[in-house]
Structure formats: structure tokens, C-alpha cells
Chain A
Amino acid sequence: MLAADQYLMVGVVLFGIGVIGFLTRRNVVVLLMCIELMINGAGLAFVSFCRQTGSLEGQVFVLFAMVIASVEIAVGLSIVLLVFRNRATLDVDEMEVLKW
């Protein structure tokens, strides 16, 4: 089905933009936004498969993913805020204390 393929393409593109953005940008807030893009790309893929197969599980997953994404953003942003208060930076490359 042509339509499903197109939905899928959009999802892949969204996901790809998210990945590339995540890998190239250094601002934490931008990274969070890129994660959001990836989640939504994946969600779109779920929904389009769902439509293709005519089942409902995919939509359930998407709903779950949206809830989790919003929670994640809430937690993530608060962490970012705390980091910014402590270290006065939003550059992820400077947040590297959690290493070996």
C-alpha cells in the first residue's frame, strides 16, 4: 500500500533527523528535542504498520510512548536545569564526569 510506505518514509526521515541532530549538536536542550523527534519517528512507524496490518497494538504502543516521552522530557528538563544551575553550561561535552 503506497500510503503506508509514505507514512513510513516520513517516520524514517524524522528518526534520521533526530539521530543526526543528536550526534552533531552539543546543546542539551537540543538533544532532548532530537530524542523527541526520534520517538515520534518511531511512533509514526508503529502507526503506519498498524494501519498496514489493521491491528491496534501499534497504536497502544504509541500512546505509551507519548506518555513516557512527556515524562522523560519533564525529568530530563529538570535534570538539565539542575545541571545548568550547578555548572552554568548546557554543553553535553562538558558533562563527562560519569566515565570510568
Chain B
Amino acid sequence: MVEATGLFSKLWLVPALPLAGALFNCLLGRQVSNFVVSIVACGSIGLAAALSLLLFNSFLKLPVEQRHIELCMYNWIPSGDFSAPIDLLLDPLSMVMITMVSGVSFLIHVYSVGYMSRDESFARYFFYLNLFVFFMLLLVLAGNFLVLYIGWEGVGTCSYLLISFLYHKQSAARAGLKAFVVTRFGDFFFVLGIMLVFVQFKSIYFGEVFPRAHEVLTPVMATWVALLIFGGAVGKSAQVPLHTWLPDAMEAPTPVSALIHAATMVTAGVYLVARCYPIFQLSPTAMSTVAVIGLLTAVISATIALVNNDIKRILAYSTVSQLGHMFIGLGVGAPAAAIFHLLTHAFAKALLFLGAGAVIHALHEEMDIRRMGALKGHIPATFWTFLVGALAMAGIPGLAGFFSKDAILEASFTNGGVLLWLIMVVTAGFTAFYCFRLFFNAFLGEKRWDPHVEEVHHPAPVMTIPLMLLAVLAAVGGYMGVPHALGGADRISSFLAPVFPPAHHTDGVSSSRLLGIVLMAVSSLSALGGISLAYFFYVMPGNREIPERLRQTFSGVYDALSNGWYFDKVYQVVFVDRFMGAANFFWQAVDTSVLDMTVRGLAGLILGGGEIVPRLQTGLVRWYALFMVAGAVVIMGYLYIF
């Protein structure tokens, strides 16, 4: 543990700058012009990104064993033996994360300036967005579990606010609520996990928990802790069975989907598991759970993406699927590969979303890929950058997604078995297919636009430049982790190695170079197959009715897929309706009936008594006299007897 000195003592500025921007836009955003708002918003994030790069530079100069810097701000919650300070931790993992988060955020902020330029809530949008970046940076910089949780809930809140941003749309409000509640359900487990960690370790510092994990935790307890923490990750990273909120979250403005629901927030779960990797390693059960959940998610959402027609939802399901891949990577013992995939995916998916935003923008808020087509000539910059993103996503050799995905595939093959690997290869084919189904439908073929679209909106330079920058990143981002099999140095793995205990991790150590190359070739072939199929269906003339016929033939499967495997419907019936039923029952039958009636009954009893007892007071004087005499007799009798 190294105390922060020099440049590193300014680490707190990284999250503080976006926070300052957010506060400015919150308090003064309505008073100043949109131009000032965007300068403040982008400027603060830009400064944070620049600072992250500077930090990265100094960080690389540090000897490896000193790459663990803590910066304690103040003691946040001290209570008895419990104490949770606000402290920041800079290690290789958080270093790459803050660089990615601040960089991608900056590009998306710039893009948003163009995308949101006509929105009347411009300042509010940038307030939320800046606040989000603050919380995200806090999340990845956290030095203990509770600070991480601040960021964790904070990003969730900002996500809620941004999904419900178009407040007049009921669907947006609904999606926001759903996103918040579903992820909160995951957070419930996470909080329990934090408390369990505290009870076990008497501390919630990463620096004290992880090194001692193997001494303190029994295997059973390690499983519990790991699974509870993983519960939080499942909610936040939209894994099965809590994935249903993410497709709905596409109600948010498209840059938000790019930033929050593709590049950063949803990957927080992956980050969390990677961060807690020393605990997960202690429990094979937890590890295989992570892998199985990841696999299920990857397959289920990839299949749903095959048939969806909403441009953003396809990308959303694709995100879910790729997050599943990252969890498989974590589960099979390749955390560095998972983080690598997280980074490349962030670039590629942010690019795809922003490109989709440009498409939607061009066609006047059209989201249905069946009513697109032939956009290639109209918005060429978007076309080319989108192509790069789609290729990277599909895992075509040479682009970013290829290297990271193959790192995971290789680890799955070595540690997880052939079956796992095979399923993943097929899923890779799916990925390539749906990416290019989207791409071909949107950009190639004939015009199928909505008749009212007369003129295409051309994206402003402020939108296309971030696209190009991201395209460059998506193209070359993979070269930070060229595997040993291809003669590379796999620098990302060795950079991250200090975070993950060396004894168990098997990143990039494939059994033989030949095997590595064969595996890569197979998965590349699968991806190429997916692309060719999409080309065959949607570009080659006269084949468009083939998928239509397939749809009719397998209508049962199609319905299941287009309804997202009925998760939403089942949840509605099993949880929401039941819950509302129970709530109504308790209100009507218990609260207003039993409890209130008891009180009213008591009051009625007293009132009734008040009706009866006064009847004794007849107004007849002699009646009273009789009572007096009787009373006197009773008293005297009492005195006489006792």
C-alpha cells in the first residue's frame, strides 16, 4: 500500500471534476446558454480524461510492486468498530477503468452536444450525464466496499434519471422504474455481501480484505460472499435472470445508451467481480456459477437479438450477450481477458450505439430496421464507422473484439471444456449475424423508409468526430493484448497481473501455440459464417423472403425469441401481480378491515356503553333515593361483616 504523492495526490480530482460540472449545470444550467452548459459538461469530463491519461503515464513509470496507491479523503461512516472512509484506490485495474470511462465519456459527451442540441432540457441532460460520470469514476476508484456501493447506487440512479429523461412518455417512465427496481434487487444481495464481508473480516477495505481472504474465509463462507456479491453484479450487468431491464432501458436518449447501457455502467458488474476476484477464486462453486450465468446470458440474449427489429434493442441484447462473455471469462479464471473484453467492447459498442443514434437521427427518430436501408450514400461517415464497429463486434481478425473474445474463448477451452467453447463459438456466429443483419438492413439494400421521411438529417461534425475516434479505438484497441499465440506480448494481462493473484490465473497461458491458432481460426470462421449468412439474407437480391419463410415455419421459436423468452411476462405474473395482489389484500383486508375495525369497534363499545349507562339516570328523585339507601346499606353491611 502506497500513500498517494505527487500527481497521485490529485487523484480525487478525477471524480471531482465531473461532479463540479454536474453541480454547475444543476444550479446554473437553466440560467446560462446551452453553449456554456456544453462547454462546462464536456470540459470537466475532458479535464478528467486528460488527468487520467497523465496519471496513466506516471503510473506506468512506477515499479510494479508500487502500483497500489491509496488516497483517503475522510472518515465517512464511523460507528463503533465499523468504519467506512471515503478512500480511493488506484491500481492497474482501476487505472485502465478510469482511463476508459473518462475517455469514452468525453467522446460521448461531445457527441451528445450535437445529438441533444434541440432538446429543451439540455442542461438537465448534461447534469445527469456529468453526475453519472462522477459516480462511475467513484465506483471504479473505490478503495472499500461502501464507497464502491456509493458509486454503484449513484450510477443506477443516474441511469434511472436518464432512462426516464423523456418524462412525458409513459414507456420511458416505466422503463426507468423497471431498471431501478430490478437492479435494486441485485443490490440487495450486494449489500448483504458487504455486510457479510464486514462480519467476516471486521473491515471493508479492499487492501485488508483481499490479501487475507484465503486465511479468513472458509470455503462455504467464501461461496456465500462471492455469490452475494455476484448477485449485485447480475443486477447491474443485466445477466439472466435480471437482464430484462436493459432492453427497456433503450428508452433513454441514444448517447445515454451508448455510455451507460453499453460502455460503462453495465460493465460495473464485471468490474466488481474482477475486483473481488481473490474471493471468487476461493470458491469453485461461485466460479462455475459465474460462468454458467454468463453462458446462459450470452446464449439467450444472442438468440433474442437474432430476431429483434428495433435497432437499439438489438444492440442492447448484444450488450447483454457480450457481458455474458465477460462473465464466462471471469468464471473460467481469465479475469484479465474479461477486463480486456470489457475495454474493447466498450469502444465497439459505444461506437455502434452512437452510429445507431446517427441513423435514428437521420431518419427522424425511426428505430425499426425494417424501415431503413440504403443509408450508405446519405451518411457515409456513419456508414464506415459503423462498419468498423460491427466488424470489431463480430470478432473479425485484426480488430479489437477479435483479440479479447479469443482470449476468453481460449481460456474457456482450456479451463471450461470443449462443450462450453463450442457453445461460445456458435454464439460468436450469432453475434456476427445479428450485427450484420442490423448493418445490412440499415445501410444497404433498397430504401424502405417511412414515407414521411423526405430528407435525411446529416449528423453534425460534433457527432461524427467522436464516431471516428471511437472507430479508431475499436480498430486498434485490441493491440494492447495481442496473445502470445500470435507472437504478441499480451501487455494488458501482464499489466493487470498484480491485481489478480498469480497462483491461479491462467490468462494467455495456452497449452500450445498451435492450439491457440486453431481455436482462433475456428471462431473467426464462425464469425465469417454469420456475416455471410446475413449478407445472403439481406443483401443478395431476392433472398429477403427466406427469413420470412423461416419465421413462419418455426413460429413457436420465433414467438419465444421475439418475446424475449417470455421473461417479462413470467415476471409480471409471478412477481408484480402477486405483489400487488398481496399489497391490496393487506390494505383492504388487514389495514382497513381488521385493524381499523378493531379500533372502531372499541370506540363503538365505549359509545354503546355511553348509550346504556346514562339510562340509570331516570330523573325520578325517588329512584335516586333508593340507590342512595341501597348504597348505604351495602356499605354498612360491609363494615358490619368485616
Contacts and interface: CB of A to CB of B under 8 A. Distances in A.
A96 B624 CA distance: 11
B618 A99 contact: yes
Interface in A9-42: 19, 22-23, 26, 31
Nearest to B621: A92
B626 A96 contact: no
A31 B614 contact: no
B313 to A, nearest CB: 76
B622 A100 contact: no
Contacts of A22: 622, 625
Interface string B602-625: 000000000000110111111001
B629 interface: yes
B629 A19 contact: yes
B175 to A, nearest CB: 65
Given A100-B614, A100-B615, A23 B620 contact: no
Contact of A96 (B614, B615, B619): B619
B608 to A, nearest CB: 14
A96 B625 contact: no
Nearest to A25: B622
Interface size class of chain A, counting residues whose CB lies under 8 Å from the partner chain: 10 to 19
Nearest to A19: B629
Which of B617, B618, B619 is the most central at the interface, judged by chain A CB atoms within 10 Å of its CB?
A: B619
A60 interface: no
Contacts of A100: 614-615, 617
Contacts of A19: 625, 629
A95 B619 CA distance: 7
A92 B620 contact: yes
A22 B486 CA distance: 125
A98 interface: yes
B625 A99 contact: no
A23 B625 contact: yes
A88 interface: no
A96 B623 CA distance: 11
B629 A93 contact: no
A71 to B, nearest CB: 19
A83 B626 CA distance: 23
B618 to A, nearest CB: 6
A22 B625 CA distance: 8
A4 B103 CA distance: 118
Interface in B490-530: none
B76 to A, nearest CB: 67
A100 B615 CA distance: 7
A21 B625 CA distance: 11
Contact of B626 (A23, A31, A93, A95): A23
A8 to B, nearest CB: 15
Interface in B285-344: none
Interface in B580-622: 614-615, 617-622
Contacts of B615: 100
Contact of B622 (A93, A97, A99): A93
Q: Give me the 4 closest cross-chain CB pairs, A-B, nearest first.
A: A99-B619, A96-B619, A100-B614, A100-B617
25 contacts: A19-B625, A19-B629, A22-B622, A22-B625, A23-B622, A23-B625, A23-B626, A23-B629, A31-B621, A31-B622, A92-B620, A92-B621, A92-B622, A93-B622, A95-B621, A96-B619, A96-B620, A97-B619, A98-B619, A99-B617, A99-B618, A99-B620, A100-B614, A100-B615, A100-B617
Given A23-B626, A92-B620, A99-B620, 19 more contacts: A19-B625, A19-B629, A23-B622, A26-B622, A31-B621, A31-B622, A92-B621, A92-B622, A93-B620, A95-B619, A96-B618, A96-B619, A96-B620, A98-B619, A99-B617, A99-B618, A99-B619, A100-B614, A100-B617
Interface of A: 19, 22-23, 26, 31, 92-93, 95-100
Interface of B: 614-615, 617-622, 625-626, 629
